[in-house]
A and B are shown apart, each in its own frame.
Chain A
Amino acid sequence: MDMPRRFDLSRPLSELHPNEQLKFDSRYLRGTLQEGLADAITGAISDDDTQLTKFFGIYQQDDREVRDERRRARLEPLYQFMVRVRLPGGLCTTDQWLALDALARDSANGSLRLTTRQTFQFHGVLKRNLRRHVQGIYATGLDTIAACGDDNRNVICTANPLFSTAHREAGETARRLGAHLLPRTGAYREILLEQPAADGIDPAAEEEPLYGRTYLPRKFKIAIAVPPQNDIDVYAHDLGLIAIVQDERIVGYNVLAGGGMGMTHKIAATFPRLGDIAGFCAAEDVIEVAEHTMCIQRDYGDRHDRSHARFKYTIEDRGVEWFREELARRMGKPLSEARPFHLDSSGDHYGWQQGSDGRWHYTLFIENGRVADTDQHTLMSGLREIARTFPGAFALTTNQNLTITGITGSERARLESLLRQHRIANDDHHTGLRRQSMACVAFPTCGLAMAESERYLPALIDKLDASLRQAGLAQQPISIRMTGCPNGCARPYLAEIALVGKAPGKYNLYLGASANGDRLNALHRENIGEQQILETLQPLFQRYAAERQPNEGFGDFVIRAGVVPAMPAGRDFQR
């Protein structure tokens, strides 16, 4: 049955969200950015341009902690920019690492942030340094295009493409998808890289054959899992691809449509959603499947209400069957039946693992992905020294961790000694909870944050650790994820324990996701502070230790024990 096309690309711009007109009028994202960067009176760019620079991985923020004090002082907010790199598959060379490390210290806030989408984020880049910073990234062979914005975001895949043939093929697919779906506008080159348009290019020509003038209704995210690992949370993305491996080669992918995390507190029509399995495509068809899926969303996604504009709502409203038919119509052939697969865990495998070529890979726990030197350790300096000592590649994971790749058996001891020297080796004393923890950035720079996240979660885990040790659960992997707002940057709704910010010091507590990322959690307590969080979780840990069944995860246990119901589907999440 055909649904009426009320708020999609077929409607006139005047009926759609103002951002649609803005994109349309922007001359392929040029806006007034050139003038805005030249304006020395303000550290900001125009409001409209802040929407456009997102397409170039550049997000205007300000230090919220000094906002009020500066307003009184008749100073504008302390504007600064977050700059996010595009790094499909999360693999960078050690030379690139060293260059980005230098940029972080030279023109950003002195630290690097590894993100849940397997890439780098810089914070605190001032407007007057912005071009120099982006050009520095570009000089390493990387760019920041489409790292934010209404476009196809950084394509992620199961970490470390150097681990096996299938991993390598998944990584190559991520890079091919990223390149194929990349916005083509010359605005980035002209304005940020300051390179003049090449001769013979017609400035009036259509610059975005795939996207058109108004790009996508909202962001679009693709993720590739190589089972049995589900480190990338394949159900949590607009398009999830599960590699089907035969004889060590990827023969094709199961296609999942309509996953996503973000919601708005108390608005039942917004919810996190798991992708629906739509079928299987052969490896050679995967680019075409992704392109058509993105274009279906381009044509049918809601462009009126940005909180209803993700692909998950298109699938929710029209059904996965409709998607299958529309995709088959555009492809000229249907997807075939999904293949069997097994996913065992959504975390990273820490420490040493041997790849199929005999080389060794060390996955390092990095708390909340923040690479900086502190009083406790010299993580940033340490990784710099390691990058210089072992030229090759670093692989970023989607859980904010880092894999040092390609170490020979004889070099292992040297790497271990460097890790110890900088006090950054994986700590055996860490609980399974801390190892499975993630937090978004939140305060002081994120404009959406309602509560602390990255700066607070480690201290909260300190307090939870004591009761875990007491209950004999120190080594039990339990996933805990914290975000400062409900938009879901750390994929909280797939954590066994999630804390989602409501106000300073106040969080909603969600429990009961599965350990392998195939079930959402459910709201347990609303708007509670630290004391109540501890008083809720400590007895649950004790019960779990006493009553759990063999191999039963904490998320499964709280459901069996009746603490929360099993969440049947995203649409029920806020009902």
Chain B
Amino acid sequence: MSAVVTHASVWANAPFDPALAEELRSLIARLDATQRLWLNGYIAGSIDALVQAPAAAAPSGPPLVTILYGSHSGNCEQLAKQIGNALTQRGLGFLTLDMLDCRKTHLQEARNVLVVVSTHGEGDPPERALPLHELLHSRKAPKLDHLKFSVLALGDSTYERYCETGRQFDARLEALGAQRLHARTECDVDFHEPAQQWIDAVAEELLRANPVQAPSPQASSPVSSLLHFAAAANRPAASVANAYTRKNPFEATVMSNQRLTAPGSTKDVRHIELSLEGSNIHYEPGDAIGVVPKNQESDVGALLGVLPFGAEHPVTVGGAEVSLRQALLDHFDIGLLTQPLVERYAAAVNTPLLTQLLAAEDSTALQRYLNGRHLLDLIQEHPPENLDAATFAQLLRPLAPRLYSIASSLRATPDEAHLTVSLVRYQSLGRERRGVVSGWLADLEDQGEHDLHAPVYLQRNPAFRLPASNDTPMIMIGPGTGVAPFRAFLADREASGASGQNWLFFGDRSFHSDFLYQTEWLDWRKRGLLHRIDVAFSRDGAPAAPKTYVQHRMHEHGRELFEWLQNGAHLYLCGDAQSMAPDVDQALHRIVERHGSLSSDEAAEYVLDLQRQRRYQKDVY
């Protein structure tokens, strides 16, 4: 990773419009240390010329006051402007934020927060305030004991739950440890006068507590604070060894388990947020998290019900003695059957039917038998006579961990790892079946609001890495949950201010229900981080029409895709290894052949060369 790194939150709070911020970021990225030091001195000197409006001209890192407004009709936004005017008149620095744009880091860095919020309908927050309202009321809410605040609540007294949203913010901020700067004011439809009184009172209070001082260049130069953050971000990330392994996993707190597919989708894909706080796990974008699953109590119970052994019967697992129940919960795969397992079982229990099935030359019947059958079905259909619990346990396969590409970046969300998990649920032989992680997540949901934990460990994936240079263009092809690492890539590039062009291909079944992380791509596109995105939804066309997949979109834009490669782009592919990856690979060869005017052998050599240069990387499963 380049040493030229600036902390994302600095830019998020920076008093520049996005275009200027982008220019500055890329400019600073091109400077070496000497040049930056010179610039630091130059700007520090020039600040002396800017003393008329000290606060507004040179905010030093976090602003003194953060004005948060949650508006429905625009009244709160207007009031936020009035507050800003009152603070400017008193020479106090501030940042005004629409609640929709307020992130956790804003709150963590804020010193004084002024909340202006209306109440909508029967006591609901305005829509743009909902995400912040939810954050504050969730397990992810930050501690706010460093913070002072006051709330201006707007409402309409003809409604029962008058000013409810303002009251909730007021109570919640206090509950999170923040101290009240000034009592909440509630305003009816004629809000102007009481609002102005609150503004004046709060502004005076702030001025009393923070007498305006002439700015000190050392303390307040924006460049020095950038360098400060650059130094902080230059941590020895990947070099820290982490002690957690598959055998000794870290118990990560599950902070969020959110369905990404809409009801009506044929799939259930989850966005899982894990807290790595205290683990010292430092992953890189591209790495995976291994989840060490447990079988569900109900599945183990059903299995024990048909086994002729007692649940507490001791069995040996990895040299240690545990009860059969515990072994079935933690250590053995009791799900889908495999041929070797059936072979071992047939040999141990000697059932003629199974032996016959295994001996047949044509394996069709065996495959049909294995399809959709779980261990429970095998036991029911062929009870294990003449078998003891210890021998039975030795036949079983160990419960393997599940690996998930991490969908987040530590730079953007420190101490968190996000996963994109497709739940497996289906019917077979008259029973509802669930994948092991799916069952585990379902159990999490059943447990409700308690402290939820997942045993996890870091699985490095050094063959799937962001380009070394921030300027290198990237093409990312990630249909379905294959898109997960690209969310990490983009979050990382945004946080590090990388200026390289980014192009994403995504595909799934239906635009309306399966467009994973749609709003995030839209935001990144709007902010200029995601330069191109092309999508293919296979089930949205007319029933008779041929289905469209990502490789079709690649072909449609083949000329540009080849141009990107010629300009040094890296190409990444993540997702299904069975059919998607070969199709995309073939499409890539055809595109290179056609737009590079190459023979098929030359195209193959071109693609191979991309791989040798580590410019074509795959993470397929």
Query: How long is the Cα–Cα vector from A67 to B262 in the complex, in angstroms?
Result: 11
Q: Does B521 contact A (CB under 8 A)?
A: yes
Q: Are B121 and A74 in contact (CB under 8 A)?
A: no
Query: How long is the Cα–Cα vector from A67 to B127 in the complex, in angstroms?
Result: 10
Most chain B CB atoms below 10 A, which of A41, A68, A69: A41
Instruction: Find residues 60-86 in chain A having any chain B CB closer than 8 Å to their own CB.
Output: 66-76, 78
Query: How long is the Cα–Cα vector from A69 to B259 in the complex, in angstroms?
Result: 9
Q: Known contacts A74-B518, A75-B512, A527-B159; can you find 19 more A-B pairs with CB under 8 A?
A: A40-B511, A40-B535, A42-B518, A42-B522, A43-B512, A68-B130, A69-B263, A70-B262, A72-B258, A73-B259, A74-B258, A74-B516, A74-B520, A75-B260, A75-B262, A76-B518, A76-B519, A266-B156, A526-B158
Q: Which of the residues B156, B260, B525 comes within 8 Å of A73, measured between beta carbons? A: B260
Q: Are B122 and A506 in contact (CB under 8 A)?
A: yes
Most chain A CB atoms below 10 A, which of B271, B519, B534: B519
Q: Does B309 contact A (CB under 8 A)?
A: no
Q: Can you name 5 A-B pairs with beta carbons within 8 Å?
A: A41-B521, A42-B518, A74-B271, A74-B518, A506-B122
Q: Does B349 contact A (CB under 8 A)?
A: no
Q: Does A450 contact B (CB under 8 A)?
A: yes
Contact digits for A521-534, partner B, Cβ 8 Å, 1 yes 0 no: 00000110000000
Q: Does A504 contact B (CB under 8 A)?
A: yes
Q: Does B250 contact A (CB under 8 A)?
A: no
Contact digits for B506-526, partner A, Cβ 8 Å, 1 yes 0 no: 000001110111111110010
Q: Are A503 and B260 in contact (CB under 8 A)?
A: no
Nearest-Cβ distance from residue A123 to partner chain B, whole angstroms: 16
Q: Are A503 and B262 in contact (CB under 8 A)?
A: no
Q: Are A66 and B262 in contact (CB under 8 A)?
A: yes
Q: Are A450 and B130 in contact (CB under 8 A)?
A: no
Contacts of B145 in A (CB 8 A): none
Given known contacts A41-B521, A74-B518, A75-B260, A128 and B159 CB-to-CB distance under 8 angstroms: no
Interface residues on A, range: 20 to 34
Instruction: Find residues 31-60 in chain A having any chain B CB closer than 8 Å to their own CB.
Output: 40-43
Contact digits for A155-193, partner B, Cβ 8 Å, 1 yes 0 no: 000000000000000000000000000000000000000
Given known contacts A73-B262, A128-B540, A43 and B511 CB-to-CB distance under 8 angstroms: yes
Instruction: Find residues 487-522 in chain A having any chain B CB closer than 8 Å to their own CB.
Output: 502-506
Q: Does B261 contact A (CB under 8 A)?
A: yes
Contacts of B519 in A (CB 8 A): 71, 74-76
Chain B residues proximal to chain A, CB less than 8 Å:
121-122, 127, 130-131, 156, 158-159, 189, 258-263, 271, 511-513, 515-522, 525, 533-535, 540
Query: How long is the Cα–Cα vector from A43 to B262 in the complex, in angstroms?
Result: 15
Nearest-Cβ distance from residue A233 to partner chain B, whole angstroms: 29
Q: Are B540 and A78 in contact (CB under 8 A)?
A: no
Query: How long is the Cα–Cα vector from A74 to B131 in the complex, in angstroms?
Result: 11
Nearest-Cβ distance from residue A265 to partner chain B, whole angstroms: 9
Q: Are B271 and A503 in contact (CB under 8 A)?
A: no
Identify the closest chain A residue to B127 (Cβ): A67
Q: Mostly helix, strand, loop or mixed at chain B's interface? A: mixed
Query: How long is the Cα–Cα vector from A98 to B156 in the complex, in angstroms?
Result: 48
Q: Which of the residues A43, A78, A503 comes within 8 Å of B159, measured between beta carbons? A: A503
Q: Are B535 and A41 in contact (CB under 8 A)?
A: yes
Given known contacts A68-B130, A266-B189, A503-B159, A74 and B260 CB-to-CB distance under 8 angstroms: yes
Contacts of A73 in B (CB 8 A): 258-262
Contacts of B158 in A (CB 8 A): 502, 526-527
Chain A residues proximal to chain B, CB less than 8 Å:
40-43, 66-76, 78, 126, 128, 266, 450, 502-506, 526-527
Contacts of A126 in B (CB 8 A): 512
Name the 3 nearest CB pairs between A and B, nearest first: A503-B121, A527-B158, A74-B519
Nearest-Cβ distance from residue A304 to partner chain B, whole angstroms: 15
Query: How long is the Cα–Cα vector from A66 to B263 in the complex, in angstroms?
Result: 10
Q: Are A75 and B159 in contact (CB under 8 A)?
A: no
Nearest-Cβ distance from residue B413 to partner chain A, whole angstroms: 14
Most chain B CB atoms below 10 A, which of A75, A266, A504: A75
Nearest-Cβ distance from residue B161 to partner chain A, whole angstroms: 10
Query: How long is the Cα–Cα vector from A506 to B121 in the complex, in angstroms?
Result: 9
Q: Are A450 and B535 in contact (CB under 8 A)?
A: no
Q: Are B515 and A75 in contact (CB under 8 A)?
A: yes
Query: How long is the Cα–Cα vector from A72 to B127 in the complex, in angstroms?
Result: 12
Contacts of B525 in A (CB 8 A): 41
Contacts of B259 in A (CB 8 A): 73
Contacts of B189 in A (CB 8 A): 266
Identify the closest chain B residue to A64 (Cβ): B127
Identify the closest chain B residue to A73 (Cβ): B260
Most chain B CB atoms below 10 A, which of A40, A71, A78, A266: A40
Contacts of A71 in B (CB 8 A): 130-131, 519
Q: Are B258 and A78 in contact (CB under 8 A)?
A: no
Contacts of B261 in A (CB 8 A): 73
Query: How long is the Cα–Cα vector from A222 to B158 in the complex, in angstroms?
Result: 36
Nearest-Cβ distance from residue A224 to partner chain B, whole angstroms: 36
Contacts of A42 in B (CB 8 A): 518, 522
Identify the closest chain B residue to A128 (Cβ): B540
Contacts of A504 in B (CB 8 A): 121-122
Contacts of A43 in B (CB 8 A): 511-512
Query: How long is the Cα–Cα vector from A17 to B121 in the complex, in angstroms?
Result: 27
Given known contacts A71-B130, A75-B260, A506-B122, A41 and B533 CB-to-CB distance under 8 angstroms: yes
Contacts of B522 in A (CB 8 A): 41-42, 76
Most chain B CB atoms below 10 A, which of A41, A73, A128, A505: A73
Given known contacts A41-B525, A43-B511, A128-B540, A450 and B121 CB-to-CB distance under 8 angstroms: yes
Nearest-Cβ distance from residue B252 to partner chain A, whole angstroms: 21
Contacts of B520 in A (CB 8 A): 74
Query: How long is the Cα–Cα vector from A40 to B522 in the complex, in angstroms?
Result: 11
Contacts of B515 in A (CB 8 A): 75
Query: How long is the Cα–Cα vector from A345 to B122 in the complex, in angstroms?
Result: 38
Contacts of B513 in A (CB 8 A): 75
Query: How long is the Cα–Cα vector from A380 to B104 in the complex, in angstroms?
Result: 52
Identify the closest chain B residue to A266 (Cβ): B189
Nearest-Cβ distance from residue A39 to partner chain B, whole angstroms: 10
Query: How long is the Cα–Cα vector from A182 to B517 in the complex, in angstroms?
Result: 43
Nearest-Cβ distance from residue B537 to partner chain A, whole angstroms: 9
Identify the closest chain A residue to B156 (Cβ): A266
Query: How long is the Cα–Cα vector from A503 to B261 in the complex, in angstroms?
Result: 30
